[in-house]
């Protein structure tokens, strides 16, 4: 008897009441999607920040390496004296370190997702759900 009372209560709801429930549900879903998107974007921004540190450090070392290699080239032109050899060796070593850091930074930066994939998926699911509720 109690089950029949619940069914009658649901059957006696007006179209306006049902429509209000659907609108309220859709509004809550949209709010939830924005919260999820905000959380995903925050997470990806943190990854981007961590990835940029080795990249920036690698670029800085690259500039130093270029300066030292150029300085070594200048010394090399001065009658092949010992100071150019030291500058060239140091320049090449710094360049290798810079290349490694840039490679690590680029690799980590490629892992950063710009589009919040979870949010996109749930929005698609919610659109399908809303369509099925309207029909």
The domain locations on the chain are 12-134
Distance CA 44, CA 111 (A): 9
Cα-based distances in Å from 44 to 28, 96, 101: 24, 29, 21
- Is this model's pTM higher than 0.75 or not? no
Residue 1: what pLDDT?
46
Distance CA 65, CA 26 (A): 57
Q: What are phi and psi of 12, to 5 degrees?
A: -85, 0
Q: Residue 122 corresponds to which tokens in the numbers above?
A: 């749930």
Q: What is the mean pLDDT of each run of 10 residues along the chain (135 residues)?
A: 50 79 83 83 82 87 85 70 73 86 89 75 77 70
């Amino acid at each position: 008897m109690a089950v029949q009372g619940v069914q009658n209560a649901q059957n006696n709801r007006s179209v306006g009441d049902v429509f209000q429930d659907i609108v309220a549900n859709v509004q809550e879903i949209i709010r939830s999607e924005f919260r999820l998107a905000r959380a995903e974007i925050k997470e990806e921004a943190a990854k981007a920040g961590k990835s940029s540190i080795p990249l920036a450090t690698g670029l800085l070392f690259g500039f130093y390496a270029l300066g030292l290699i150029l300085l070594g080239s200048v010394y090399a032109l001065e009658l092949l004296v010992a100071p150019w050899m030291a500058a060239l060796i140091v320049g090449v070593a710094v360049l290798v370190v810079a290349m490694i850091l840039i490679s690590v930074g680029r690799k980590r930066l490629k892992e950063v997702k710009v589009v919040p994939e979870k949010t996109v998926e749930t929005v698609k699911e919610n659109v399908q759900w809303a369509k099925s509720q309207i029909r």
